[in-house]
Amino acid sequence: MLEVSRDQQSGKPIPSDRAEALWGALERSHFRIRWLFSPAVALLVGAFTGLLSSKHAWQLALVTVAPFSVVFSVGRRGTLQDVGFLGLHLIIAAFAAWSVARLLRAKGYRTPLES
């Protein structure tokens, strides 16, 4: 894969089978980032925000995960699908923060920032 990108940068003609292999690898990476890593990051950020926040946990999670989501989901294109992924990340983070904060309040735990 690296050889193909070096050939492309140098201006050499690239055989079609090598170019297709490169595009296939890029598509698999894009799929993994969009559907696995980005929602996992939103979930972790939301959970830690709910753990540390005593009040307004879901609102704080929205503000906390928004820069990551804007950069990695909307990026340069800003299509409707990308905006949908932005909304998905925000919903995941807000729900995780709300759930963790509610669970901690129900059990009577105080957050580290309340102590």
Backbone conformation region of residue 15, classed left if phi is above 0, alpha if psi is from -120 to 50, else beta: beta
pLDDT number for residue 82: 80
Token pair, residue 53, equals 């926040």
3-state SS track over 42-67: HHHHHHHHHHHCCCCHHHHHHHHHHH
- Chain-centroid distance of CA 94 in Å reads 13
pLDDT number for residue 114: 65
DSSP per-residue string spanning 88-101? HHHHHHHHHHHHHH
Cβ–Cβ under 8 Å, residues 34 and 85 = yes
d(CA 25, CA 3): 13
Token pair, residue 45, equals 């950020």
Give 26-75 pLDDT, tens digit per residue: 777 777 777 788 889 999 999 999 988 878 899 999 999 999 888 877 76
Give 85-115 pLDDT, tens digit per residue: 889 999 999 999 999 999 988 888 876 666 5
Asked whether the predicted pLDDT for residue 4 surpasses 70, the reply is no
Cα separations in angstroms, 110 against 52, 65, 100, 114: 9, 23, 12, 6
